[in-house]
Structure formats: C-alpha cells, structure tokens
Amino acid sequence: MSKDLQKEIQRFTLADLALPVKTLFTGYLLVIGLGLLFAGGQIMLTHGMADGKFGLSVDDIVYSYHGNREGEGGAKLVAKLNGSMKNNAPPEVRLAMIKWVENGATQQEWDERISIDVDQYCSPCHANMPGIPDISDKVVMDEMVKIDEGQPVSTLTRVSHIHLFGISFIFFFVGWIFTYATGISPMKKAILIFTPFAFLIVDVLAWWLTKWSPNFAWLVIIGGFGYSLAATIMIFTSLYQMWVLPLRTLKANK
C-alpha cells in the first residue's frame, strides 16, 4: 500500500466523522451493546439455571449440551423441574410431576392429573412460545421423560448456523467501525478485530465437543466470555473516540 493511500485512509478517524455518521455508528453500537447485555441475562436465566442454581457454571454447560444422564433420575423433565423451571409451578405440582416420572410416567396418571397440571401451569408458555417444546402434547412429553442427553443434534445444527451467521454480522460491523479508531497499532487493531470471530468459532465448536464429552464444557464459557470482552472493548473505544476524545482535544488546544 502506498504512503499516499495510507494517509488518505488515516484521514477518516472516529473523532473527525461527520455528525450524521457519528450518530449512525453510535446508535448501532448502543443497540448492540444493550443486546449483548440482554443476551447475557437470557443465558443466566436458561443455561445458568440448568443445575438449579443461579449463575453460569461448568455443570450448567454440561447439563445443557451433554445432558444430566445420571443425576436426577436422568429425565429431561426432572432436570428442568429442579432447574430453570423450578419456580414456575407450586411445589406440590412440581413434586407430583417428578414422582410421576420416577414411577414410570404412566398413561393413567397422565390422564388423571399430570395433563391437567401441565395445561394449567406449563401450557401458557410452552404451547404459545416458539422455540420451547409444547409438553401438553403427549408425544413431546414422552421425549421429556426420557434420559437427558442434552441438546439433540438437530437442535445443535439449527442453532449453530443461526449463531454463526447472525453474530458474525454483528462483529463485522462493530469491527468495521473500530477500524477508524486511532492511537492503536495496525497489528493490535487487527488482532482485536479478529478475536471475537475466533472465539465465536470456539464457542460453537465447544457445544458439539461438550455434547460428545463433558470435559469440553470450559471451552463454551471461554468462547462466550472471549468474544463478549473483545466486542465490549471495541464498542467502548469507538464511542470514546467519537464523542469524548474530540472534547478533550478541544479543551487541550484552548
């Protein structure tokens, strides 16, 4: 690359962007930052409750992707009732469902009580919200009382390609805005821009590895933390250089 071209590119910095462009970039970065916060909250309320305790742990990752194949009777329904769904029904209803599973999940008890409890306490969400199983359907419930083997391959395949396609677009635009930052060497900037993409690949591959062996659960946490941290650094650096840095430079020149 010629020196003239390098100088031409260097003219475009975050601090010197026109106000409409700064506003566009700022709106995007703020929405993406808020989205990352809500994504973290959603993970805490779903995967983070897989072991029945708030907060993301290795056990949560293992139960979510590999399954809880030995504990809690091994049934998906029991694991959920003792985990993320624990507070969504009265204790006596939850215990009745657990006992039903432990006693063989008979059709008679399903018809006499369990289906009624499911319709009252579970169906308002499970029958109306996409992405969660409709356990009022006995065929679906039959799957839930089987041994918990974690996410099925079909679900992992679907979520993996959505995750890779969707989040890579987020990182592309965050990284593109960050390319206009100054005061950072090209090599350090390049490494930081590539980091979230690398950790995203680690995160998704770790789902599959954890499905195969629980020993890889740590990689899921590392991957998610790594790309979140890199994106956060780029977002705050970009916002700082667009709005705070020009003010500080203006004051210093007075």
Mean pLDDT over each residue of the chain, to the nearest integer? 87
Residue 216 pLDDT grade (very low, low, confident, very high; cuts 50, 70, 90): very high
Q: Write the CB contacts of 198 (distance below 8 Å, at least 6 apart in sequence).
A: 226
Residue 121 DSSP symbol: I
Which range has the worst mean pLDDT, 25-29, 107-111, 190-194, 249-253?
Answer: 249-253
30/75: higher pLDDT: 30
10/213: higher pLDDT: 213
- The helix (run of H) or strand (run of E) holding residue 161 is helix 153-178
- The residue written with tokens 């960050």 in the block is 178
Beta bridge partners of 75: 147
> For the residues 51-69, what does the mean pLDDT come to?
81
